[in-house]
Structure formats: structure tokens, C-alpha cells
Amino acid sequence: MGSGARSVGLLSSPIASPVPGSLPAEQKRAALEEVLQSSVFRRADQLRKFLNFICEMEITGRADELCEYLIGVEALGRPSDYSPAEDAAVRRRAADLRDKLQETYSEELVGAKIRIDLPKGTYVPRFVTSESSLLKVARTPIPAIPLGPPALRPTYFALILAFVMGITITGLAFLGLPSLRSLVERSSVGTQPHPGIIYEAEAASSTMAGGARTSRCSACSGGQKVGFIGNGAANFLAINDVTVAMSGSYQLEVDYLLRGTRSFFISVDDGPGVELPLTSNSWVSPASATVNITLKAGHNRIVFYNETGFAPDLDRVVLR
């Protein structure tokens, strides 16, 4: 099928508008990853392959090659002698894909800033921005109100006041007021290197079982994350060789990616699993949570799983 150019304006597209040539590949792939990680598409393997294939063709500049035959063979696994005239699988799947995209963006990804659209009559996807982004661009800036020449007296007074307040707060903090002292301590800790021992989820020493697998993640510490953990006991991630000198309780920071609410179950050395319920709003930016675990001196194995539902994606863990 052909894919002629179509002009879309603000009035003819009240929900979203295309951004021709302005989105970098990284942002497009992030939008694609959000959809692929949604609950609707996690359960639809064939639609995942369909969407991933046509989006990668568009991102890599090969959109003009997309046709029913190519999608049938490369995305849906049809044989090389596949005939679109006799087998309408691609057309049916395209219709399903449009429905599922609409469902996903109207429910789970309702706040997505970049959306994927598959117009009828073409197999070339479009990456579009939400209406809120357009409204920000369309607003007229409020003109600045002239205030006249700067007054030296108020500025000088403000500088003196800020200096006195800074000295007072710092002095009170270190004289014993716990709330002020903790505020100063927190601000200084934030500038220090990340403490603890880091274990990347995608490290070669980890075990990815079942459907668990790595994918690119530009915001993750190692440039990758591990997804498709859970939804069955066979799909788990094990971080091996977690080594400590002494037996005892340790704090484990879990850096994860998630849009919505899901749970990890964490098992140490084949012990009973402990549920870690998590909530976040992004499949591309990691969030953090901490849990206390008990380790024995020497080597330990920490397993992340969820037997009844999908777990979040895992970037890394930090042991303290």
C-alpha cells in the first residue's frame, strides 16, 4: 500500500500532531519501549513484533520499503512464498494494532508525551506529540513589566539578609537542632559519589531465565536494563556472587523502571520470597526503593521474580 504525504494542522488533529524530522531516534525508541512494556502489548507477542519492526524501519530511514509482503515475512514469520492476496494476516494485524495502540494510550499511557500512530491506508508509523506540548508552543509569552532602574538599597539589603540567614541556619544545625542539622547533612550527601557495591542487572554474572531479557536504556547506569521478569515462575533474574565479609542485615537499593504499580518478589539463597511493591511513572527513567535483606558471610544469590504477574524492569541493585 502507498503512503502519501498528509498535512496535519492543529485544528484537524485535536489530540496530537506529528513532529516531522524533529525527534531523534533515541526519543522514538523510548516511546516504542513504553508501548512494548505496557500490559496490553506484553500479552500480544505478534503485535509486539509487528510494531517493533515497522517502527525500527521508520527510525532507521527505511520506511519507504515497508509493504504488506515484507511485514508478513519479517514480522509475522510467513514463508518466503507468502502471498498477501491469499493471506490477509497483515491487514488484520494492522487493524488490531491500531485498536491496541488506541486502548493503550487511552488507559495505561494516557500521559505519554510522544505517541505512536498508525494511520489507516499505510504501514508507516508516525511519532506524534500530545496536545499539551502543542499548547505550550502556541502560547504567547507574557511581556515583561518594566520596573524602572534597579534600586541599590533593596538589593544590598537582600544580600545582607541572605548572608545572615545562611549563617544562622548553619549555626543552629550544628548546635543541635536535629531537623535543621539533617537538612544540611542531606544537601551535602547529595554531592558525594554513590556509596555501596553496585551489581548491574544485565551483568554477565547474572542469570536471566525464561523470558527475562535485556534491552537498551539510555538513562540506566549500564545503558541496559532487564525486563520481562515475572508472569510465571520460570521468568526470573538472579544476581549471583553477592559477596559480604560478615553475616548480617544489609540494605539493598533496587533501581527499577515501571509505569504503574507492580511487585518484585526477592529471594536470598533460595529462601522464602519477600514482596517489594513498587510504583513509578516511566519505562525510561529509573526510580529507586530500598529493602533490608539478610546475607551470610561469603557468596550469596539474590533472585527477583513474580509468579503471578509481571514485575518491573530492573536496572541495578546497590548493596550497603
Query: In which residue ranges of the chain is pLDDT below 50?
Result: 1-21, 132-154, 172-174, 176-193
Residue 111 is predicted with a pLDDT of 85
pTM exceeding the 0.85 threshold for the entire prediction: no
> Around Cβ 44, how many Cβ atoms within 10 Å?
17
Q: Is 49 helix (H, G, I), strand (E, B) or coil?
A: helix
Domains of the chain in start order, with CATH, are 16-137 (no CATH), 197-319 (2.60.120.260)
> Around Cβ 216, how many Cβ atoms within 10 Å?
13
d(CA 103, CA 86): 30
Where do the H-state alpha helices sit in the chain? 25-36, 39-42, 45-59, 68-74, 89-106, 131-138, 152-175, 178-189
Q: Which residues pair with 267 in a beta bridge?
A: 303
d(CA 67, CA 45): 20
> Around Cβ 211, how many Cβ atoms within 10 Å?
17
The sign of the dihedral angle between the CA atoms of 178, 180, 181, 186 is positive
d(CA 133, CA 144): 23
Residue 163 is predicted with a pLDDT of 62
d(CA 124, CA 203): 36
d(CA 305, CA 106): 29
For 27-48, the pLDDT digits (tens) are 999 999 999 999 989 889 999 9
Which residues, at least 6 apart from 33, have a Cβ–Cβ distance to it below 8 Å?
215, 216, 283, 284
d(CA 257, CA 282): 6
63: closest CA among 7, 112, 13, 125?
A: 125
